[in-house]
Amino acid sequence: MQENGYKPGLEGVVAAETRLSHVDGQRGELIIAGQRVEALAPQASFEAVVFLLWNGRFPTPSEEAEFVADLASRRQLPAATMQLLTAVAPQQTPPMDALRMAAATLDLDSPTDNRALATTLLARMPTIVAAYDRLRHGQQPIPPDPALGHAANYLQMLDGKRPSAARSRALETYLNTVVDHSLNASTFTARVIIATQSDMVSAIVGAIGALKGPLHGGAPGPALDMVFEIGTLDRAEPYLRQKLEAGERLMGFGHRVYKVRDPRAEVLAIAAEHLFEADGDKRLYELVKGVEKTAVSLLAEYKPGRNLQTNVEFYTALLLNGIGLETALFTPTFAIGRTAGWIAHCFEQLENGRLIRPSARYVGAYPTVNEGTISR
Ligand code: ACO
């Protein structure tokens, strides 16, 4: 802490009260709406987790069926959104930028009721990502299928194939794992925007922008590229050592809050193990495990006392790759899951919140000449 209470990066500053999720960085615990992530993520449907976050309790079976149907009925994109995606695809705009642009158009035909708007926003995120992915590959978008759940429908809209139960479950586990994580950078962004009594679309668009950066949700692509570049386990140590000697950061390691292994890494590692077992090829899984071990021990050597451990992004890369997603889709897929958490925080901020307006310590110059004259 510096003088005048200034904390760079707001580290350790409590800026909200939330019932949505709790992160214990010393013990490596994540609780989502009263449930441990290890239990919740692999068992519940994504829709049930969203209902839990938005309503503070699990849905009854009939409420869950109703919510699943409501969400599924709102997936179709407005014509203006599709036109925008079609226009930017030939320029090969990165998918996260296309998502940010397209999400901004989503209030064009939506009701003003916040609950309905939130459901529509959540429903359409996978449609945007999948439609854009096909357009940028010169393919026609695949219409959403109301018979499928949120996760399975996203996979089908990407490649036109009915996904296996194992792939859908793996994606659902991923979406549940990343659905909410206390006051991370993108969630804070969403809360700051909604706290001005702006609108929910603006809050989600701002959050997408914050998530995109490599210090937040943009890390899994580079983390997987790193594993592919390493290629075989015997190359891991020299490769990682060289990166650390050059002062580079290892993507997928370190966290502002966790000083032990991120519990989400374990949930995703187990999900990846199940998926790779079903697939019959565990070579990448074994390589990732080995790279993790080497990286953690080298980080302890190069950054002693920093407790740099594996974060969620490292195993995100492995799991999403196993599901068959291209690297460019990793961060947009993170956004698809986290949108539900951003919206839950918007609801909470609207219920209890005050305008968020911290202070800054002024370190600039003061006028040196008389009142009314500009000092140059
Ligand atoms: N590789 C190498 N060194 C690292 C790493 C890393 N992955 N992470 C932190 N460090 C080092 C820093 O260089 C710094 O060293 P120094 O004091 O010798 O200069 C020290 O550890 C502290 O780093 P800070 O940047 O102050 O820590 P902060 O809490 O701000 O960073 C962050 C957290 C941004 C996640 C960081 O660990 C990082 O850049 N990791 C790599 C990117 C990544 O994996 N991002 C995904 C995070 S998970 C998520 O947001 C969903």
Question: From the candidates 47, 172, 292, 313, which is the catalytic residue?
Answer: 313
Residue nearest to atom 44 of ligand 1 (CA): 252
CA 34-338-326 angle, to 5 degrees, is: 130
**Ligand 1 touching residue 312 (CB < 6 A):** yes
Main-chain dihedrals φ then ψ at residue 70, nearest 5 degrees: -65, -45
CA 152-156-157 angle, to 5 degrees, is: 115
Distance (Å, whole) CA 168 – CA 152? 5
Distance (Å, whole) CA 150 – CA 71? 8
* Neighbouring residues of 316: CB distance < 8 A, sequence distance ≥ 6: 174, 178, 220, 223, 268, 330, 334
pLDDT at 140: 98
The confidence band for 2, taking pLDDT boundaries of 50, 70 and 90, is low
pLDDT at 220: 80
Dihedral angle of Cα 48, 51, 52, 54, to the nearest 10 degrees: 160
pLDDT higher than 90, residue 112? no
Buried-state track 226-249, b at ≥16 Cβ within 10 A, e below 16 = bbeebeeeeebbebbeebbeeeeb
The per-residue pLDDT for range 54-69, each reduced to its tens digit, is 999 999 999 999 999 9
Distances (CA, A) of 214 to 71, 185, 251: 30, 12, 8
**Ligand 1 touching residue 217 (CB < 6 A):** yes
* Known active-site residue 229: no
The confidence band for 3, taking pLDDT boundaries of 50, 70 and 90, is low
CA of 193 to the centre of ligand 1 (A): 26
Q: Across residues 338-359, what is the average pLDDT? A: 94
Atom of ligand 1 nearest to the CA of 334: 51
Neighbours of 182 (CB within 10 A): 20
Look at the alpha carbons of 288, 294, 300, 301 in this order and tell me if their dihedral is positive or negative.
Answer: negative
Task: Give Cα 150 to chain centroid, integer Å.
Answer: 16
pLDDT at 234: 96
Dihedral angle of Cα 257, 262, 264, 267, to the nearest 10 degrees: -160
Main-chain dihedrals φ then ψ at residue 94, nearest 5 degrees: -60, 145
pLDDT higher than 60, residue 42? yes
pTM of the model: 0.93
Neighbours of 279 (CB within 10 A): 15
CA of 255 to the centre of ligand 1 (A): 6
The per-residue pLDDT for range 259-302, each reduced to its tens digit, is 889 999 999 999 999 988 876 568 888 999 999 999 999 999 99
The per-residue pLDDT for range 290-339, each reduced to its tens digit, is 999 999 999 999 999 999 999 998 999 999 999 999 999 999 999 999 99
Residue nearest to atom 15 of ligand 1 (CA): 303
pLDDT at 278: 75
Instruction: Name the average pLDDT for the chain.
Output: 94
Tokens 């590959």, located at residue = 137
Distance (Å, whole) CA 330 – CA 364? 41
The confidence band for 218, taking pLDDT boundaries of 50, 70 and 90, is confident
pLDDT at 373: 83
Q: Among 177, 176, 208, which residue's Cα sits nearest to residue 190?
A: 208
Q: By the 8 A CB rule, do 74 and 128 touch? A: no
pLDDT higher than 70, residue 232? yes
Q: Across residues 342-352, what is the average pLDDT? A: 95
Distance (Å, whole) CA 87 – CA 79? 12
pLDDT at 7: 92
Atom of ligand 1 nearest to the CA of 262: 48
Q: By the 8 A CB rule, do 278 and 46 touch? A: no
* Known active-site residue 301: no
